């Protein structure tokens, strides 16, 4: 499924926040990302409109099955790529930043080969 990098980032952020707390609201995403409230509001509404998340009457955000699938995929890429870069001797801050960039552009084939190589 092809969606924009920014949408992947928001979905991944919601997944991460939901692992830390039972509830996620737009303000939590603002605080985590540092983006403005209007930017987060716009993104959340677009993701809801496209069926990637739900917002209840209290403003709590949950991922739909398709949103969660995308978020887990991106998060797995982030974790695996960060681990690879750390093992190569790259400092943690740089490894996390670079993994965050790579996770959105790496092909499924290449990512699977990296995982395969690591499991040998």
Q: What is the pLDDT of residues 7-58, one digit of tens each?
A: 999 999 999 999 999 999 999 999 999 999 999 999 999 999 999 999 999 9
* 39 and 80 part of one domain: no
Q: Can you tell me whether residue 49 is helix, strand or coil?
A: helix
- Number of domains the chain is built from: 2
What is the average pLDDT across 82-104? Answer: 94
- What residues make up the domain containing 35? 5-65
- The verdict on 61 and 108 lying in the same domain is no
Same-domain check for residues 59 and 21: yes
Q: Which domain CATH number covers 100? A: 1.10.60.10
Nearest of 71, 72, 61 to residue 26 by alpha carbon: 61
The answer on 9 and 61 residing in a single domain is yes
Global confidence as pTM: 0.88
CATH number for the domain harbouring residue 30: 1.10.10.10
With cut-offs at 50, 70 and 90, classify the pLDDT of residue 119: confident
d(CA 20, CA 14): 10
> Exposed, middle or buried by CB within 10 Å (0-12, 13-18, 19+), for 56?
exposed
Q: pLDDT value at position 107?
A: 93
């Amino acid at each position: 499924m092809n969606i924009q990098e920014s949408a992947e980032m928001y979905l991944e952020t919601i997944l991460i926040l939901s692992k830390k707390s039972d509830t996620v609201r737009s303000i939590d995403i603002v605080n985590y990302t540092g983006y403005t409230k209007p930017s987060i509001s716009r993104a959340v509404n677009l993701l809801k409109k496209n069926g990637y998340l739900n917002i209840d009457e209290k403003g709590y955000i949950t991922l739909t099955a398709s949103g969660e699938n995308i978020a887990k995929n991106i998060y797995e890429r982030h974790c695996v790529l960060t681990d690879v870069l750390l093992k190569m001797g790259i400092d943690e801050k740089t490894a996390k930043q670079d993994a965050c960039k790579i996770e959105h552009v790496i092909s499924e084939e290449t990512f699977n080969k990296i995982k395969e190589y690591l499991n040998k």
